[in-house]
Structure 1
Amino acid sequence: MKELKIKSIVLIIIINITLTSCNSTSISQINISTPIPKTSDYPKFSTVRSIIVGFLLVLITILIILGNGLVCVTIIFEKHLQTPTNYFVFSLAMADASLGILVLPFSIISTLSVKPWFLGNVFCNIWISLDVMLCTTSILTLFAISLDRWFAVTRPFIYLRLINHKRVFLFCTGFWIISIMFAFVPIFAGWNTEDGFVQNTREIDISNNVCIFEKNKVFVLIVSILTYFIPLAVMFALTMKVFKVTREQTKKIKKLEKMITNVTKTREAESIELKPLQIKRSKKNILSLSLRNIFKKNKLSQSNEHKATITLGSVVIAFLICWIPYFTVFTMRPFVSFNINYHLEEFFLWLGYANSSLNPFLYGFYNSQFRAGFANVLIHRWRKRN
């Protein structure tokens, strides 16, 4: 009996030790694979700085919403702006305006608040997915605008035959669907985390009211390469090609202008000297006038293409400057062990967001048609309503 009791006690002790060991191992694995930051890990601003930073972030958000909203309204009401290219512009403005309405208000709260996330883990993941989705849509649409300009300038006849409103609408719809799948599926399937769990849904996440965007190496590589570096490289190459072709076409137009001017002067001189033959010469003068009219139309069309190219170039350069700091840190972080100041990282992120506020100003500055459309919507239509 004593031996039986001793064996039972030993067995119970072994079981307890085993269970304790398993529990401690599982907890340590969770802590190692998915470190959960607490609110105290994120340094917040002082009261004065919070007011200043909050004012700037709210200002950026308002500019994004109003500016891109104005672009959308202008394209809807101004029929002459409803071109295939401007359908892409409309899609880009919709994505940027949606970013300002659906994402940035909560980003401001997250940046400035000293309290833990209070809107729940499900909404947190929806908010992060919307952020990824809308930024991806913007990048893909910018890529499409670059490709559109390249076709229009280098392959004008193919462009006129293939590109129409219906096809552009289908392209834009496809970009939105791809962005939704690219953003929501990985995050809600847990493909972006180290342990395969859906981010912000573990018990420790919920108890700490955490809302973080987790990123493993594979997810970072796929996102950064497919949605930033490859589109950016192609956009830059296409834009440089468009600039080169536009410059060559401008030189050819100037040469043609000189030739037509010289021919016109010669015809006028002959007309004055040979008065008996003035009737015969008038036919040649009519031909000269026709050439000049055709040239003026081509020159105007070329001027519009040149302005569109300059606008595209400025948009691509602004995109490059605003987003490259954030994506550099985003890509390097899982592979290189370095510490970056939290406020600096937030600045890089908001610098990327601020890019969405620049495009409406670039359209208005470089494109006279958009400038006139803005004025018509803001002034004339307002007067009609009043």
Structure 2
Amino acid sequence: MYPVSASEGHSYFTFSHGYLQPNLNMPPVSYSQDIQVKNSDNFFLHSSFYTYEYSTLSNHAQLSIIPDIDRYLIFLQILPKDNPGILPWIVLILVFTIISIIAFRILNQQTFKRKKYLEAKIKKRTREIVRKQKEIESEKERSDALLRNILPAKIASELKLNGKVKVQYYDLASVLFIDFKDFSRFSQFLNPMVLINELNKNFCEFDDITEKHRLEKIKTIGDAYMCAGGIPEPNLTNPFDAILAAFEILNYLNKAEDDQWLCNVRIGIHTGEILAGVIGKNKFAYDIWGEAVNTASRMESSGEAGKINISGETQALVADFFDFEYRGKLEAKHRNEFDMYFVNRIKKPYSKDENGTIPNELFWKKVNCHINKVAI
């Protein structure tokens, strides 16, 4: 219930104990009254302009409700006719009408405010949910990127889907080993951080070159770098990819020779059968196994700095496109001797540069024709 106060003058009703009581002793004269209405929090209520008129045989009453800045101005004018005793009842009816209007307006305002509050709360909660979802997606992208950096994309997808990775057999893959000459000797008198930073710089460049030539980096062991072509997606160009990547690595190191200590490498390549996959349950690493891996390592260790040493198996697959230098045979455990060749350059008709390290368009046309014949 809301308190009602009147301005100076006579009142045609009284408000006591929660009930409106007519004042039967009021004289039958014209009257105007200012009523101020507040809610329980002392908050002034506002409304539109209202005018009410009531007429009987004896009286005529006119009620006006005007919203002010901080109150309602209620003007009541009663014009008595013949029966002044009816006036208090007219006032009572008018006051109940006023209270009903005000109560309805208060309810609407409270409902509107509650609606706005809930809408704002829902919007705020929705923004929080969207923000959390974006954070989760961002974290997922970072974890996926980290996993792809550790494992090939195909292997990473298989690991996420199944929780494990099957070891795959590849009948044609080219394994490439790179090892820096005199690394151990340099480590004896160079600052270790200087040496490692230089090694990291070179390995980062090797990463870019091998990725460009579709080779999969397997791992680094000390100052040795190991990668392979034809995995995890099989292809028939991997012997060419490995040799071209080796040429580009040598070109890079020749340009960097004046700026760093580590500039001489031995490179060995062998093509054959391997197994590739992920084993174990902790610290996943994509690795390769097989006699081809051991042979590629022997090609590297039996080579010379600044040279690309390949096995007879690899040479047989690319013989029509490169110039070679036969080096003789290499003894091997558990099998026959290996033929070894230095790859000197790309044959002149297929070379884009004078040094024979960059292939031209004709090179790839001929390679594709060669591969198609082999596939058939």
Q: Same fold (TM over 0.5)?
A: no
Which of the two has higher C-alpha Rg?
Answer: 2
Higher percent of residues as strand? 2
Instruction: Please report the TM-score for the alignment, with normalisation by the length of structure 1.
Output: 0.21
Larger RCO: 1 or 2 (CA < 8 Å, sep 6+): 1
Instruction: Please report the TM-score for the alignment, with normalisation by the length of structure 2.
Output: 0.22
